[in-house]
Amino acid sequence: MRRFPRLPALLAGLVVGVSAVSSAAEELTFVRLTPAQHQRAIHDVFGPGIRVDGSAEALGVRDRGLLALGARRSTLSAAELERYEALAQQVAAQVTEPARRATLIACRPAADDAPDDVCAARFVARAGRFLFRRPLTGGETDLYVAVARTAADTLDDYYAGLRAALAGMLVAPEFLFRVERSEPDPGDPGRLRLDAWSRASRLSFFLWDSAPDHLLLDAAESGGLLSPEGLDRQVERLLASPRAERGLRAFFSDLLELDRFATLSIDSSLFPRFTKNVEDDAREQTLRTIADHLLNRNRDYRDLFVTRDTFLTPPLAAIYGVPLPRSQELGGAVPWVPYRFPEGGSHVGLLGQVSFLALHSHPGRSSPTLRGQAVQQIFLCRTVPPPPPDVDFSLLQDTYNPDFRTTRDRLAEHRRNPACASCHNLTDPIGLTLEVFDAAGGYRTTENGAPIDAGGALNGRTYAGPAGLAEALRDEPRAASCFIERTFSYGAARPPTDGERAWLADVQAELVERGVKWRDLVRRIARHPDFYTVVPGAS
């Protein structure tokens, strides 16, 4: 994959005199970058060799199922900014170290031990265009050049000056947040649309999970991106790029709440095969399966529930209890082997994968309620309310009670309480089917010596086990509409308005007939002018 094309060319871009800040009618909104986006934005500008240590720690807020929506509501705490400032210093030091200067810093100063405003201005303008994802204003360039001058003077080192200026841009809100500028829509003066630069960012973060590259910035600068044809060209270009896979992975990591792996604590004393490696592999298995299914094979999203095609590593194969055939890939650095679970078995689709089963379990015990809740919330966009206060769970949760040996028995008793039944009826008929998988995702047929009954029902459709549940989910219309709405919300970092829901319903009607293919879906969203409108008060 050509991850970093034309590295020197990136920084040899144009210095543009246009002001990015314009009319009084504009409005600014902010969306916080995720740690992954922060790291990628740096790598895309300065090369993947730049270390960005420890940026993965940040507290995302999940809003209506997505961290992407929470990013429009969160800011940076003092402790987080402290970390980002340390990272900025670390990155700036690497960019300006002697070995990288020839590649990344085109202009040679008159002297290494004194300020050079002309050279500094060239660096600031070039780097700033990528970091702020728009040209710097004259005032901004002057500001960072002044920072460089003062630092160079103080430390008798021109490059220390550049280091300071770069560190300043890396902690600026224009870099750490996606600043979205809006302007009146010429086609509809009553409403606001994103300006060309913000449109480029929205598109790029949606499809690539990173900042715009130079071609996209050029399209914004020329105004071409604001025309339907220009937009189409960029959408196709971005979708054809290998970077589209990381955009897809970022979306599904958010949708499937894979960030929760950070605090997963499946007890390895109870599940000795569930090691740290298994956690990493389980996460990757899911993303690899999805990328292969949606991008490589261009299959229907809904078939992710029923596919038996996946990829395994030896530790994962041990959890699943399947023999792993030898593969050419074995022995390489990444021993992933394509694998198809046998027909008739229970490991079917996303719900049969370790990542889903373990993330929605207790540390030592499976939980039909947590799993059923996850299916409702993640795949069907239904909210399951928390249990009411003053409910006594303990009487019928006694796992040693000989009358209630399986979780199904105990939950049936629990649902006899009407206050509990309304929600458990949403979760349990789904989750109980998945009881054939233990907390680590391993297959089992009994619980406390009693056979597990994996029968269940979804919206009146009954099934006997996980394969039936998977088919019911695939055929559930709400699964497609939920996915489409989440995809839009993720890209726009806001939920759709009622009007947008109407055209999303049209998209759904069309795709349900033709297949809910990832590229078709994001293409329709990314080409639609509504995707680039600004809804006042969306934060």
Partner 1 sequence: MSATRGIGRRTVLRGMLKGGAAVTVGLPVLECLLNTNGTAYAAGIGGAAAGAPLPPCFGTWFWGLGLIPNHWEPAAAGPGYELPEHLAGLRPIQSKINLFSGMQVFLDGKVNQNHYSGAQGQATGRVSRNGGDYSTSIDTLIGDHIGRGTRFRSLEVTCDGDSSASWSARGSSGLNPSETSPLALYARIFGDGFRDPNLADFQADPAVMVRHSVLSAVSEQRRKLMTAVSASDRARLDEYFSSVRDLEQKLAFELDRPAPLPACTVPEAGTEEIGALVEQVERTHRQYARLLAHALACGQTRIFNLTMGSAFSRLRRPGEVNAYHSLTHEEPIDRELGYQPTCKWLAERMMDFFREFVETLDGIREGGGTLLDRTVVFAFTDHGEARMHSMKRYPILTAGSGGGRMKTGLHVASEGDAATRVGFTIQQALGVVGGRWGAESNEVSRPFGEVLT
CB under 8 A: which stretch of 71-79, 235-243, 278-286, 491-499 binds partner 1?
71-79
Q: Given the complex with partner 1, which of 139 and 189 has the nearer CB atom?
A: 139
- CB neighbours of residue 428 within 10 Å: 26
Nearer to partner 1, 168 or 491 (CB): 168
First to last CA, the chain: 37
Q: Which is nearer to partner 1, 74 or 377 (CB)?
A: 74
- When computed from its CA atoms, the radius of gyration of the chain, rounded to whole angstroms, is 26
Q: 10 Å Cβ neighbour count for 447?
A: 19
Q: Which of 104, 160, 256, 420 binds partner 1 (CB under 8 A)?
A: 160
Min dist CB 178 to partner 1, Å, is: 12
Instruction: Indicate which single residue of 36, 73, 230, 338 sits in contact with partner 1 (rule: CB under 8 A).
Output: 73
Per CB under 8 A, which of residues 278..307 are in contact with partner 1? none
Q: Which residue, 153 or 520, has its beta carbon nearer to partner 1?
A: 153
**Which DSSP letter does residue 413 get?**
H
Which residues are within 8 A (CB) of 329 and not within 5 positions of it... i.e. 6 or more apart? Answer: 335, 336, 337
Instruction: Count the helix, strand and coil residues of the chain and give each as a percent rounded to the nearest 5.
Output: 55, 10, 35
Using CA atoms, how far residue 462 sits from 71, 202, 347, 433, 522, in Å, is 39, 42, 19, 11, 33
The residue type found at 7 is: L
Please tell me the distance from the alpha carbon of residue 280 to that of residue 316, in angstroms, as a whole number: 10
Pick between residue 156 and residue 280 the one whose CB is nearest to partner 1.
156
Find the binder of partner 1 among 40, 42, 63, 354 (CB under 8 A): 63
For 344, how many CA atoms within 13 A lie in the half-sphere containing its CB?
Answer: 0
The number of beta carbons lying within 10 Å of the beta carbon of residue 137 is 16
Strand bridging mode 461-463 / 27-32: unpaired
Q: How far is the CB of 193 from partner 1 (least distance, A)?
A: 14
Which residues within the stretch 343-362 sit at the binding site for partner 1 (CB under 8 A)? 362
Sequential DSSP letters for 158-217: HHHHHHHHHHHHHHSHHHHEEEEEEEEETTEEEEEEE-HHHHHHHHHHHHHSS---HHHH
Task: Compare residues 49 and 388 and give the one whose CB is closer to partner 1.
Answer: 388
Is residue 61 a contact point for partner 1 (CB under 8 A)? yes
Nearer to partner 1, 162 or 295 (CB): 162
Per the DSSP assignment, residues forming a β-bridge with 443 are 437
Burial of 215 (0-12, 13-18, 19+ CB in 10 A): middle
Comparing CB distances to partner 1, the nearer of 75 and 425 is 75
Token pair listed for 78: 């003092």
Q: Based on CB atoms, which residue is closest to partner 1, 235 or 439?
A: 439
**CB nearer to partner 1: pick between 265 and 296:** 265
**Footprint on residues 418-437 left by partner 1 (CB under 8 A):** none
Closer CB to partner 1, 169 or 220, in the complex: 169
Separation of alpha carbons 244 and 233, rounded Å? 15
Nearer to partner 1, 116 or 213 (CB): 116
List phi, psi (to 5°) of 191: -125, 165
Site string for partner 1, 107-146 (x = CB under 8 A): ----------x---x----------------xxxxxxxxx
Range 387-416, binding partner 1 (CB under 8 A)? 387-395, 397-400
Q: Least distance in Å: CB of 389 to partner 1?
A: 4
Counting Cα atoms < 13 Å in the Cβ hemisphere of 24 gives: 0
CB of 135 to partner 1, least distance (A): 15
Q: Which of residues 517-536 bind partner 1 (CB under 8 A)?
A: 536
DSSP string, 289-339: HHHIIIIIS--BGGGGGT--EEEE-HHHHHHHT-PPPP-TTTTSSS--EEE
Work out which of 76, 317, 322, 457 binds partner 1, going by CB under 8 A. 76
> Minimal distance in Å, beta carbon 18 to partner 1?
16
Q: Which residue of 98, 189, 385, 402 would you call a contact of partner 1, by CB under 8 A?
A: 385
Tell the smallest beta-carbon distance from residue 507 to partner 1 (Å): 28
* Of residues 18-57, those binding partner 1 (CB under 8 A): 21, 26-30, 57
148-175 in b/e burial notation, b at 16+ Cβ within 10 A? bbebbeeeebbbbbbbbbbbbbbbbebb
Q: Which of residues 457-516 bind partner 1 (CB under 8 A)?
A: none
Q: Which stretch binds partner 1 (CB under 8 A): 150-158, 199-207, 250-258, 450-458?
A: 150-158
Task: Please tell me the count of residues contacting partner 1 according to CB under 8 A.
Answer: 82
**Footprint on residues 314-343 left by partner 1 (CB under 8 A):** none
Question: Contact at 8 Å (CB) between 427 and 372?
Answer: yes
Give the footprint of partner 1 on residues 233-272 (CB under 8 A): 262-263, 265, 267, 269-270
- 109/171 Cα distance (integer angstroms): 25
Q: How far is the CB of 68 from partner 1 (least distance, A)?
A: 14
